Amino acid sequence: MFAQRAKPASVGRVGLPFTIMGVVNVTPDSFSDGGTFSDPVAAIVHARRLAGEGAAMIDVGGESTRPGAAPVPAEQEHERVVPVIEGIAGLNLPVQISIDTMKVAVAEAALDAGASYVNDVTAFRHDPDLAALVADRGVDCCLMHMLGEPRTMQDDPRYDDVVDDVKAFLLDRMHVATAAGIPEERIYLDPGIGFGKTLEHNLELLRRLDELVAIGRPLVVGTSRKSFLGRITGRDVTERVHATVATTVIAFERGAQVFRVHDVAATLDALQVAAATFGRWPAIPTRTTTTKTT
C-alpha cells in the first residue's frame, strides 16, 4: 500500500461562501495558456500572483485535457509538475495545492511534494489505484464527469438527458470512491463543463446545476475561457473573462461552491458582489479605494 503522509488542513478564505481555484498549467499545449508557464519559476511566480488575487486553491496540471489532446507519459508529467508544486509549497502561501492528474504515480509524487488535493478528470476510471492512494493519504479529491477521453470526448457527444446522466455518473463514481475508503467529506464533484458536451449540454448543466448540488457534495465548476463561451460571444480565448464571470455567478447562484478559473481577481470581485446580493455573505470591503461617486 501507499505510505501515509499527514495532510495539512484545507485552506479557504475566511468568511467567504465560495472557494476560487486558480489554474497553473505547466503544459505546452493547453487551450488557453499553453506554454506560458512551462518554466517552473514562471509557474511558481504565477501561483503566488493568483494567491495574492484571492485564490484559496492552486491547481497544477502537467497534461492538457483540451479536446483532441494527446496523452503525456507519466515521467514527463512528473518532471513538469513536481518542481512547481515543491516551489509553491515552499512559499507557505495560504492555499491548498491541487494536482490535476489521472495517473497514480504522478499524484503520489505530487502529494510528496506538497499537494493535498487530487483533481482527476476521469474520476478514477483511468487509474483505479488512484482511489486507494487518495484514501491512504487522507487527502481531498475531485471526481469529474467526462464522456470518453480528451482525444474523443467531443466526437458527437450524446445523452438521454445530460443532467440526469451526469448526476448518475457522479453518484456512481462517488460510490466507487467511498468503497475504496475515501470519506465522503473528502469528495468534491465536477460536472465537467466542456468535457464531452455540446454548447446546449453545457448551458443545460448550468441551468439545472441545483440538481447536481442536491447530491450533497461541494460542486466544482470550471467554465474558464472555454470554447462554448467563444461560440456565444464570438470572443477569442484570451477575451472571455467577462463570459467566464457570468457563468461563475450563475453557478454560484445555483449552489456551486468551488470555481476553477484562470482570472482570479475578476472572479473574486464578481462572487463577492453576488454573495452580498444573495445574502450569503456580508458586504464587508476587502480593499480601500479613493474613487468617489455621486
- Please list the active-site residues: 226, 260
Residue among 179, 180, 147 nearest 166 (CA): 147
Do 106 and 21 contact (CB within 8 A), yes or no? no
Distance, in Å, from the CA atom of 275 to the CA atom of 290, rounded to the nearest integer, reads 23
Specify the 3-state DSSP secondary structure of 274. helix
CB 192 within 8 A of CB 144: yes
Helix (H, G, I), strand (E, B) or coil at 24: strand
Hey, what amino acid is at 149? E
148-151 long-range Cβ contacts below 8 angstroms, 24+ apart: 148/196, 149/122, 150/64, 150/65, 150/66, 150/67, 150/68, 150/69, 150/121, 150/195, 151/68, 151/69, 151/70, 151/71
CA 199 to CA 242: how far, in whole Å? Answer: 18
